[in-house]
Amino acid sequence: IKCRIGNLKPDTAVLVATVKALKYHGGVSKENIFEENYDALKDGLANLDKHYDNLKKFGVNVVVCLNKYDTDTLEEIDLIRKHCEDNNYEFAISSAYSDGGEGAMELANKVLTIGNNDFKFLYDTDLDIVEKINIICKEIYGATKVNISDEIMSKIKDINNNKLSNLPICVAK
């Protein structure tokens, strides 16, 4: 929405991940998030892949940035780095959390050296509201079918009647 309103065309998106978040998405409880768990970390990489694929749908370059913490082990970092290399993802580590600006230099240099892109929006704002919702749900969330309640259809009708149907759609799950 910000890109549409501000007429912005980003060159690169930085997809920030942490070891803790990847393990959490791999099924580890918050209480056990600091324990090494390579199976959960591997499983959590599916979440990273989905976000990467979603960003690529906008035609932008993507850099995966591991936001490194002192609790991350070298083995965990290497597992994520190897996954990114195996999938041809641009990858950088940022330790800005503990090292300030110097800790973000690898990421900054990676972003500066990445090539041009073909930025595009996921949908045209002139499409029908239901069609825009369907595109977002199917392309971003992986839905096969979207059910819209009568209550929501009534609200969509109000939006159409007020000639606001050309606005971008924001979906929060």
Predicted confidence (pLDDT) per residue in 12-54, tens digit: 999 999 999 999 999 999 999 999 999 999 999 999 999 999 9
pLDDT category of residue 115 using cuts at 50, 70 and 90: confident
- How high is the pLDDT of residue 172? 83
- How high is the pLDDT of residue 28? 95
d(CA 154, CA 117): 39
Tell me: pLDDT of 173 over 80. Answer: no
pLDDT category of residue 67 using cuts at 50, 70 and 90: very high
Model confidence over 26-35: pLDDT tens digits? 999 999 999 9
Contact between 136 and 171 under an 8 Å Cβ cutoff? The reply is: yes
Average pLDDT score over residue span 122-141: 96
- How high is the pLDDT of residue 46? 97
CB proximity list for 45: less than 8 A, separation 6 or greater: 22, 26, 80, 83
Tell me: pLDDT of 116 over 90. Answer: no
- How high is the pLDDT of residue 117? 84
Classify burial at 109, counting beta carbons within 10 Å of its beta carbon; exposed 0-12, middle 13-18, buried 19 or more: exposed
Average pLDDT score over residue span 162-166: 95
Average pLDDT score over residue span 141-146: 94
CB proximity list for 21: less than 8 A, separation 6 or greater: 44, 47
- How high is the pLDDT of residue 102? 96
- Percent of the chain at pLDDT above 90? 92
- How high is the pLDDT of residue 85? 98
Query: What mean pLDDT is reported for the chain?
Result: 95
